[in-house]
Amino acid sequence: MSSSTQERSSWSGKWAFILAGAASAVGLGNMWRFPYLAAKYGGGTFILTYLILVFTFGVTLLLLECALGRRTGLSAIGAFRHFGKKFAFIGVLASAVPFIIAPYYSIIGGWVTKYTFAYLMNGPAALADDGKFFTSFISSPVESFVWMAVFMIVVFIIVGLGVDGGIERANLVMMPALIVMAIALVVYIISMPGAMSGVAYYLIPDVAKFSPELFVSALGQMFYSLSLAMGIMITYGSYLDKKSSLPHSVANIGMFDLGVSILAGLMIVPAAFVAMGSGEAVAAKSGPSLMFITLPKVFESMGPQVATVIGFLFFLLVAFAAITSAISLIETMTSIIMDGKGYSRKKAFTITCVFTFVMGIFINLGFNGLSFFQPLGKGSTILDLFDFVSNSVLMPIVAVLTLVFVGWIVKPKTLIDEIEVSAPFKLQAAWSVMVKYIAPVLVIVIMVAYVGAQFG
Ligand code: PHE
C-alpha cells in the first residue's frame, strides 16, 4: 500500500520527537482557553484537576497513539487498517479532524499574525478600541484573507522543508523562544501594582467551585490541548525510532503542555485582573474576545512604549504557538495522503496545501461575504461550524472508538510489547485498566454531559 515507505521521514532523535509533540500540543488552546477556564472554575481547583487528568488520562492516550504509530509505521488510516480492513474507518474519522481544523486554525493564526505586526505599525492605542479594530479587520475580505495567506505560507514553507530540515529546526527556534517570552511577560505582569490579587485568584484553589461541569471542561480542554484523537500523535509516533522510550517521551510532552498552560494563565489572568478588578469579570471573557479585545485594552493601559513591547511580544508568542501547531496539522495531512494513496511526499504535500488554502478562503468568507450564513444559530460563523464538528463531534467519537479498538480488539498487550521494545514499561497494568475501562467511560461521560447541556 505504501509505496512511499522508503522515503518515510523520521525524527533525528527522542528529543526532536518530544519537542515536536510539545510544539503540536502548545497552541491557541493553551493561550486563550486554559486561562479563562481556570478563572471560571476556581483557579487552583481547576489547575489541580487538570494536572491529575493530564498525567492519568492524557498520557495514557498519548502513549496509545504514539505506540500505535510506531508499531505500524503508518499514519492514522494505515495504522488502523493494519489490523483489518474493517477498522480503517476509525482512521478515516481521525484523519478528517486535521483536514477540518487546519483551514480555520490558519485563519485565527492570521489574526494573531496581523496583531503582532499591528503593535509595531498601528500602535497599541489603535488596537484598544473596544473591538472596532478587530471587527473591521475580520469583516474585510481582502485584509483577513491576506493575513491568513501569510500565516499559511510560513507554515507551508516549514513543512515543505521536511521533517528534519524544516519542522525540527523551526521547533528548535520557536519553542525555546516561546518559553523565554512567556517567562519574561509573566515576570513583568505579576510585578504590576495589584497583580498579586490576580495571581492569588488564579492559583489558590476555591474548592467550592469543584463541580461535574469543571471536570467535564477540564477533560475536553485536555483532549484538545494534547492534540489527541486527530491522528497527529499516530503520525508523529510513526516517525520515531525503536530506541526511544515512549513513556518518558509522552510524560515530557504532557509536562511541557501543562507548564505552558499554567504560564499563559499567569500572564493573562493577573493582567486582566488589574484591568477589570475581579476574577469573575475575567472569567466572563473567553476565546477571541479575551485575546483580541480585552487584552489589547489591558496592554494599552500600561502606557504607549510598554504596551507596544508587551503587545508585540505577547502576540509573537501566540503566533509561534499557533504556527508550531499548524505545522503538525499540515504534516499529518501530508502523511495521511502519502500512506493512503502511495503518492510521493511532494505530491501529497501540494494537495494538502491547495486544500487548506481553498477551504481557508471559504471559511474566511463566513466573516464577510457569506456572513448571512449562520449555521449554529444567530451570530455564529462557518468557522464555528467547523470547530464544532471537529472538537465536539468527531474528536470524542474517535477517542472512544480508538480506546475500544485498542482495549478490546487489538488488546493492550500488543502495544505494551511495542512500548517495551525500548525499555521495560512499569505501569503497564495500570495503563491497560485505563485503556480498557476508565478512559472510554470518561469520554462517554463527556459526550453525554455535552449532549445533556445542549438540550437540558
Ligand atoms: N493542541 C493545540 C492547541 O492547544 C490544538 C491543536 C493541535 C490544533 C494540533 C491544531 C493542531 O491549540
Look at residue 3 in the predicted model and tell me its pLDDT: 44
Residue ID of nearest Cα to ligand 1 atom 8: 325
Distance from the alpha carbon of residue 398 to the mean position of ligand 1, in angstroms: 16
**Beta carbon of 28 within 6 Å of any ligand 1 atom:** yes
Residue 140 lies in a domain: yes
**Beta carbon of 325 within 6 Å of any ligand 1 atom:** yes
Distance CA 424, CA 429 (A): 12
Instruction: Return per-residue pLDDT of the chain as tens, 456 residues.
Output: 444 445 688 999 999 999 999 999 999 999 988 998 898 888 899 999 999 999 999 999 999 999 999 999 999 999 999 999 999 999 999 999 999 999 999 999 999 999 999 999 999 999 998 888 998 888 888 999 999 999 999 999 999 999 999 999 999 999 999 999 999 999 999 998 889 999 999 999 988 888 888 888 888 888 889 999 999 999 999 999 999 999 999 999 999 999 999 999 999 999 888 887 777 777 777 667 888 988 898 899 888 899 999 999 999 999 999 999 999 999 999 999 999 899 999 999 999 999 999 999 999 888 887 888 888 888 788 888 888 877 777 888 899 999 999 999 999 999 999 999 998 999 999 999 999 999 999 888 877 877 777 665
**Beta carbon of 115 within 6 Å of any ligand 1 atom:** no
Look at residue 315 in the predicted model and tell me its pLDDT: 96
What's the domain count of the chain?
1
CA angle 18, 21, 24 (to 5 degrees): 145
Residue 171 lies in a domain: yes
Ligand 1, residues 24, 37, 167, 333: which to mutate, most atoms within 8 A of Cβ?
A: 24
CATH number for the domain including 357?
A: 1.10.4160.10
DSSP characters over 330-367: HHHHHHHHHHHH---HHHHHHHHHHHHHHHHHHHHHTT
Residue 350 lies in a domain: yes
Are residues 118 and 127 in contact, defined by beta-carbon separation less than 8 angstroms? yes
Residue 253 lies in a domain: yes
Domain of 63, in residue numbers: 5-385
Residue 79 lies in a domain: yes
Residue 314 lies in a domain: yes
**Beta carbon of 254 within 6 Å of any ligand 1 atom:** no
**Beta carbon of 45 within 6 Å of any ligand 1 atom:** no
Distance from the alpha carbon of residue 424 to the mean position of ligand 1, in angstroms: 31
Look at residue 216 in the predicted model and tell me its pLDDT: 80
Residue 425 lies in a domain: no
Range 360-367 contact pairs with CB under 8 angstroms and sequence separation of 24 or more: 360/103, 360/104, 360/106, 360/107, 360/148, 360/152, 361/145, 361/148, 362/103, 363/103, 363/104, 363/107, 364/107, 364/141, 364/144, 364/145, 364/148, 365/141, 367/138, 367/139, 367/144
Residue 90 lies in a domain: yes
Residue that has been written with the C-alpha cell 466573516 in this structure: 367
Distance from the alpha carbon of residue 224 to the mean position of ligand 1, in angstroms: 6
Distance CA 104, CA 100 (A): 7
Report residue 1 as a C-alpha cell: 500500500
Look at residue 388 in the predicted model and tell me its pLDDT: 80
Which atom from ligand 1 is nearest to the alpha carbon of 33? 4
Of the candidates 246, 234, 243, 250, which has an alpha carbon nearest to the alpha carbon of residue 69? 234
Ligand 1, residues 222, 325, 331, 332: which to mutate, most atoms within 8 A of Cβ?
A: 325
